[in-house]
Amino acid sequence: MTEPLFRTDAYLREAEARVAGHSDQGGLILDRTVFYATSGGQPGDSGYLDWDGGRTNIATAVKGEGGTFVLVPDAGSALPPVGAPVLQRLDWERRHRHMRVHTALHLLSVVVPLPVTGGQIGAERGRLDFDMPEPPADVTALEEALNRLVERDLTVSDDWITDAELEANPGLVKTMSVKPPMGQGRVRLVRISDGAELVDLQPCGGTHVARTGEIGRLQLGKIENKGRQNRRITLHLCD
């Protein structure tokens, strides 16, 4: 298995590791990694690896078999040998923008309290699809409510519950199309604020900023009709 360092510290930009193997498709499997692997609508991280004798650019990361994460190098790149120590470094600016957008989408699901049917995260914008028969009457009001949550600079933290606890609290799951990963005994919850000030609590395996103020100002795009009861709302980072 690969130890996902990003899960305990989303702000870790680099780390030493050892090459545990090569995938059949020419990817690299490390014993521990800072690279988030594509899942839940969030793209895999990019960056590079340094080792004694070379450097390999990493285009993305994906999930492999048996709890591994596979780093996908640029086509034609040289690979460090199995067992080699490496230093992995993220494209931090890109990752941090994913963190900002991902956290912003959590807030969007608060100001639009409807079931989520899909979503996608990018470095400049993100979107959620909602089970929404009618479009919102006032998009400007939604945007203002979203930015008020950002400006409150709320804490973002995580916790873990058991599979059984999640099954007993199905209301925690907002997404209709993607279910949280279960079967390993526990599920990660992401919490925005706490106690009486709790704003959001839902299962999520992605990376997020530590406080909502870090997101920066947001702008909503137009509401798109994606089906009889499906509306897509896109948000954009303003900087």
- Asked whether residue 40 falls in the same domain as residue 18, the answer is yes
Single-letter code of the amino acid located at 101: V
- The more confident residue out of 6 and 168 is 6
**CATH number, position 134:** 3.30.980.10
- Asked whether residue 65 falls in the same domain as residue 103, the answer is no
- Asked whether residue 178 falls in the same domain as residue 125, the answer is yes
- Asked whether residue 67 falls in the same domain as residue 136, the answer is no
pLDDT the model gives residue 213: 98
- Asked whether residue 77 falls in the same domain as residue 186, the answer is no
Say if residue 113's pLDDT is above 90: yes
- Asked whether residue 61 falls in the same domain as residue 29, the answer is yes
**CATH number, position 56:** 2.40.30.130
- Asked whether residue 185 falls in the same domain as residue 110, the answer is yes
Say if residue 82's pLDDT is above 80: yes
Single-letter code of the amino acid located at 37: A
**pLDDT mean over 51-62:** 95
- Asked whether residue 60 falls in the same domain as residue 166, the answer is no
Say if residue 130's pLDDT is above 80: yes
Measure the CA–CA gap between 179 and 129, rounded to whole angstroms.
15
- The more confident residue out of 178 and 216 is 216
> Does the reported pTM lie above 0.85?
yes
Q: What is the pLDDT of residues 179-219, one digit of tens each?
A: 666 556 788 899 999 988 999 999 999 999 999 999 999 99
User: Of 60, 90, 120, which residue constitutes the final position of a domain?
Assistant: 90
Measure the CA–CA gap between 238 and 153, rounded to whole angstroms.
17
- Asked whether residue 78 falls in the same domain as residue 127, the answer is no
Give the structural domain span for 8. 3-90
User: Of 66, 90, 114, which residue constitutes the final position of a domain?
Assistant: 90
**pLDDT mean over 219-231:** 89
**pLDDT mean over 42-54:** 95
**pLDDT mean over 84-109:** 98
Beta strands in the chain (DSSP E): 3-4, 14-22, 28-30, 32-33, 47-51, 54-63, 69-73, 85-90, 116-121, 125-131, 156-162, 186-192, 200-203, 218-225, 230-237
Tell me the helix, strand and coil percentages in the chain, rounded to 5: 20, 40, 40
User: Of 90, 110, 139, which residue constitutes the final position of a domain?
Assistant: 90
Q: How many domains does the chain have?
A: 2
- Asked whether residue 39 falls in the same domain as residue 137, the answer is no
- Asked whether residue 163 falls in the same domain as residue 228, the answer is yes
pLDDT the model gives residue 185: 72
